[in-house]
Amino acid sequence: MGHTASDPATTAATASALDTALVLGTALAPVVARGVIIRRPRAVALAEKADADRLLVRTLQRLRSRYGTAPLRLAVPGRSVVLVLDDADVHRVLAGSPEPFATTTPEKRGALGHFQPHGVLISHGADRADRRRFNESALDTDRPLHHLAEPMVAVVREEAHALLAEADRTGVLDWDAFGKAWMRIVRRVALGDSARDDRELTELLARLRAAGNWSFAHPRRRDLREEFLQRLRQQLEKAEPGSLAAAAADAPTSPRTHPVEQVPQWLFAFDPAGLAAFRALALLAGHPAEQRAVADDLADRDPSRPHDLPLLRAAVLESVRLWPTTPAILRETTTTTRLGERVLPAKTLVVVLTPFFHRDDERLPYADRFAPAIWQDGSARESLSLVPFSAGPAVCPGQNLVLLLTSTLLAALLQHHEVALTSRPRLYPGRRIPGTLNPYGLRFSVARRPS
């Protein structure tokens, strides 16, 4: 007798070739086309037109109703691949990382090996434990306010004021200005003030990341990688006070750590953080009551001090829930592994497509609404599959730092100013939030708030 979807503790049911093609076509292909390692703005704009992530949600909902919630094997030749469709399984996979669900997969090694072959994300076993410790120490993973929050907040506010001065002059805030200001913040926070205008370093990494988008399909660019890592090493050696480079210099290392190769991930992961902050600004612009609540909350705070800003942190969390910047979390089984009611062979690629879980309107009453309250009233935590920063032992170690920097930047922008969206699509209360929102096309009007 063959296995069917209802057999307990058996191998996973397999999607038909047609359904597999549907998943690959509507879910995976658009994710890959937009660029996994670095975004391709034109593809992002097309994805917005096609409402790509909404299509993904519909496709996976259809598969779930056809095959059930157990992990679903895709009919991919030459590779064992399962799609996770149940939120308890999302939790099991992430809680069971890195053993038996390894974070490193051939696909990720192909992509990230271009510039950080010893990065923690593609490390396993003792190497991973060592590099994870280094990352957690430098990024202060468990603390809402990094121990260098004070100098970091000063940097963010300085750059925000320059950005606002420009917006005050033109009355407009767009990605061109915001993105440049953000990258200056990132270089100063990560590497120190002397790196503020080192756009070449960002550019070198962008070229390596563009190769990374093609994973194994792109030839390795060893000369470029060496040049990049050499420049990065020199900058890190300065350990400029107040920067992550200084925190890294104080973090525990061993011959396994390869500290310089942990840093490209920090630099490139700050990109989606900037996009998330800009989309959070769009959410607040479209929801005046929430924007007002933020301004009221800021009124009594000393802006020069670091603060845990729950309303703005929740807005950024909503931004990455609604538009996850890591839409595909991949794991690979290290051995024959039980997942829920199914048994997966070793070396099975386990795929968690977060837009499906974050926007599943058959389960979540707030799926397509701006609902920052869920991050404060415990409902996001209760749900096992709202995982914009992943979860479990391999959770993003930069989450708190991202929320500190983005909330501080938004606070600086909104404390004395009001923003409104002038680009389309418009966002407003009561309207379904679009599945995909192209951040590069956002434009805001900015006006000083009457005091």
Interface residues with ligand HEM (CB under 6 A) are: 103, 120-121, 132, 135, 139, 265-266, 269-270, 272-273, 276, 320, 325-326, 329-330, 388-390, 394, 396-398, 401-402
Q: E strand or H helix at 235, and its extent?
A: helix 222-237
Enclosing H/E stretch for 291: helix 288-299
How does DSSP assign 111-149, residue by residue? HHTTT-TT-GGG--HHHHHHHHHHHHHHHTTT-SS-TTH
Angle between helices 263-286 and 222-237 (to 10 degrees): 80
Q: In 392-422, which positions are buried (b, 16+ CB within 10 angstroms) versus exposed (e)?
A: bebebbbbbbbbbbbbbbbbbbbbebbbebe
Q: Which residue is nearest to ligand HEM (CB)?
A: 398
Query: Measured from the CB of residue 358, what is the shortest distance to ligand HEM in angstroms?
Result: 12
User: Shortest gap between Cβ of 105 and ligand HEM (angstroms)?
Assistant: 9
Residue closer to ligand HEM by CB (options 103, 348) is 103
What is the CB neighbour count within 10 angstroms for residue 385?
Answer: 21
Cα angle value 275/281/284 (rounded, 5°): 145
Nearest to 111 by CA among 336, 350, 328: 328
Nearer to ligand HEM, 121 or 173 (CB): 121
Which CB, 13 or 380, lies closer to ligand HEM? 380
Q: Which residue's CB is nearer to ligand HEM, number 28 or number 269?
A: 269
Q: How many CB atoms lie within 10 A of CB 366?
A: 18
Minimum separation from the CB atom of position 274 to ligand HEM (A): 8
When the beta carbons of 192 and 388 are compared against ligand HEM, the nearer one is 388
How many CB atoms are located within 10 Å of the residue 196 CB? 17
Whole-number minimum distance, CB 352 to ligand HEM, in Å?
9
Strand order across the beta sheet in which 342-344 lies: 10-11, 342-344, 337-339
For ligand HEM, give the closer residue by CB, 175 or 266: 266
Rounded CA gap, 36 and 276, in Å? Answer: 15
Q: Which residue, 103 or 407, has its beta carbon nearer to ligand HEM?
A: 103
- Nearer Cβ to ligand HEM (74/269): 269
Least distance between ligand HEM and beta carbon 68 (Å): 26
Residue 22, Cβ density class (10 Å: 0-12 exposed, 13-18 middle, ≥19 buried): middle
List beta partners, residue 73: 14, 82
Residues 6 or more apart in contact with residue 362 via CB below 8 angstroms: 61
**What does the alpha-carbon distance between residue 277 and residue 184 come to, in Å, rounded to a whole number?**
15
Residue 136 or 168 having the CB closest to ligand HEM: 136
Q: At closest approach, how far in Å is the CB of 9 from ligand HEM? A: 27
Least distance in Å: CB of 398 to ligand HEM? 3
The nearest distance, CB 397 to ligand HEM, in angstroms, is 5
The nearest distance, CB 266 to ligand HEM, in angstroms, is 4
